[in-house]
Each structure stands twice: as C-alpha cells, then as structure tokens.
Amino acid sequence: MRKIEIIPYQKNWPLKYQKEAEMLKSLLGEECREIHHIGSTSVPGLRAKPTIDILIGVNDTESVDQYNKEMRAIGYDPKGENGIAGRRYFQKGGDKRSHHVHIFEAGSFHIHRHLVFRDYLRACADIRIQYGELKEQLSQEYPYDSKAYVKGKESMVQQIEQRALAWYQKERL
C-alpha cells in the first residue's frame, strides 16, 4: 500500500526532471513537441510528494500508444487516458512512485492550465504556503487514502486554478 508523504522542497527535483525529460524526448523523438516540469516538485519552496510530474505536448496523443512497450522498458506503466479524455498517462515506480508523465496534444488547454497553475504558485508565496499546508494536513489525515487526499485538495486546486488563469490574463495585458 502506498503511503502519502509530503516532504520539504528538494533542490535535486529539477535535476531529476531534467534527466527523465532527456530520456523521454529521446524515446518520443519527433512526436515530442514540448516538455515541462509541472506539479508541486516544479515549484521551489512548495512541500510535495517526491514524485516528479512531467507534461509532454505531442503531435497526436493516439500515436503515443505505439510507445507503450518502450515506456514499459524504462519503467513506466501505461494507464491510458486515466480519467482525462485526450490524455495519455504513465506512472513509474509502483508504490514508491517516482514519476508521472502526462501527455496531451500540443496546444491543449490542459497544457496551458498546468503551466499557469505552476507559474502562479511560483509567483504567489502566500498561496504556495497555504497549498503546502493543506497538502501536509491531508497527508496526515489520510496517509493511505489517495482518493480522500485528492478529494480534500480539490476545492483549493480549483480556486487556485481560477485565480491563476485570471492572473495569467492580467499579466499578459
């Protein structure tokens, strides 16, 4: 059973992302149009589960299925759409999860919202701290219940995402 553990930000997370990103870009070749470090490990100062989230924009998400064998060979478990239409999702590390890969078609709103959410947390220390505290509290309340943990974050994540999208529009003016 996988335990939810929230730890302080680790300075080696960007290096872990970079190493994995290079391997994934090499594997996907021309199909890979963009690759980003997302999730809590991409936000300096944010407490997080030590799982590196990687977001990849590709030419065609359905074509990613042809890489499942190669993804398995480097330790990833293909999960298909895993609840989000148009996504391809992969997990690495089993119960000691080390990486998640989220793949969408380049230009997808899902890519935009993930990047804006990340950038907003990087820019807004007070929100980053509140979010980190909630994650810590939920990990203590639900150490072995990932569904309850995710459900507990849901409202705050939606609020942050709405603020982030508004912030992004304002920043572009």
User: What pLDDT is stored for residue 32 in this prediction?
Assistant: 97
b/e 93-125 (16+ beta carbons within 10 angstroms → b)? beeeeebbbbbbbeebebbeebbbbbbbbeebe
End-to-end CA distance of the chain: 48
Q: Give per-residue pLDDT as tens, 95-127.
A: 889 999 999 999 999 999 999 999 999 999 999
3-class secondary structure, 60: coil
In this structure, the number of other CB atoms found within 10 A of the CB of residue 36 comes to 18
| Interval 5-16 mean pLDDT | 97
pTM over 0.85: yes
User: What pLDDT is stored for residue 40 in this prediction?
Assistant: 97
Q: Which domains does the chain have, with CATH numbers?
A: 13-172 (3.30.460.10)
